[in-house]
Structure 1
Amino acid sequence: MTEHPLHATVSQRGVLFGPRGEILVVRRASDGGWELPGGRLGAEEGALAGVRREIEEETGLNPEVTGAVHAFAWRNDDDDGRFAVYYSCSAGEREVRLSHEHTDHEWLPADAAVERLSGPQGNAVERALDDDPAPGF
């Protein structure tokens, strides 16, 4: 048994592939940082429904969610627990309608998306590109 279990907020993000294989990244309004679209899972909300809802709310896109590719746990600067699950997703269109949470977006090639994102989110992009992304997950 773990002596100090993590009590955490759960967030879910999508590695969202566009019709030409590019990946969507969005710029946070709060601090200008770049991230994958997604957000917090609601109480009693199914995981896939939650990630779909968050991506739709933030981008106006209707994603197809393929499956989980990466997960990561950490403590933020306020020492609050966080747990994120990243999913491989696809969108049939590129027309993004951003919510108030974001100020900009870009569709990037995978290598540029990895460079633009934080370590765990960049890792999620790399895992989504793998043929068999979830072994050992």
Structure 2
Amino acid sequence: MSSGNNGDNDVIRAAGCVLWRRSPYDDGLEVCLVHRPKYDDWSHPKGKLKRREDALAGALREVEEETGFRCAPGARLPTAHYVANGRPKQVEYWAAEATDGTFRPNREVDRIAWLSPTAARHRLTQPRDKTLVDALLSALHLT
């Protein structure tokens, strides 16, 4: 939430989820990563919040827009803070279990991958995203 001081106007607010499911093959945990052709990177589904949008609502909206999946939000995960295009960015994350949906390639995301936590850590482009996989496992009491 914004604290109301003038500096908050400069912060890019975003939200996303570490989307997970039980594998349809072996019941193991799978994490969904998205590939963004604009950046040629692999990340967790996330995006900028709309004006006055609640962070969790924005995270769920972004997951559905980028992956085609609806999800049930769970534990709050660590917030990422970094600089993007010279501006501070804050991304709030939640663990979220995929409930139903179907992926269709779109302008922002051309493919998704459901991977084991270890494979997801290796595929993620940014180191800060790798730590979110560990936070998910901790939140699900799997560490």
TM-score by length of 2: 0.80
Contact 1:19 1:94 in 2 (8 A): no
- The whole-number CA distance in structure 2 between the counterparts of 1:38 and 1:6 is 20
Q: Deviations over 1:30-73 (max 9, x none)?
A: 02111111211111111211111111111111111113111121
1:69 is the counterpart of 2:77: yes
4+ long deviations beyond 2 Å: 4-7, 92-95
Structure with greater strand percent: 2
Structure 2: which 5+ residue stretches go unaligned?
A: 1-6, 24-28
What pairs with 1:65-104 in structure 2 (closer than 5 Å)?
A: 65-76=73-84, 78-93=85-100, 95-104=102-111
Structure 2 CA distance for aligned equivalents of residues 18 and 132 of structure 1: 12
Please, which of 47, 54, 57 is the counterpart of residue 49 of structure 1? 57
Which amino acid in the other structure matches residue 96 of structure 2?
Answer: C
* Whole-Å separation in 1 of the counterparts to 2:100 and 2:20: 10
Check the 8 A contact 1:25/1:34 in 2, yes or no: yes
Q: Give the length in aligned residue pairs.
A: 129
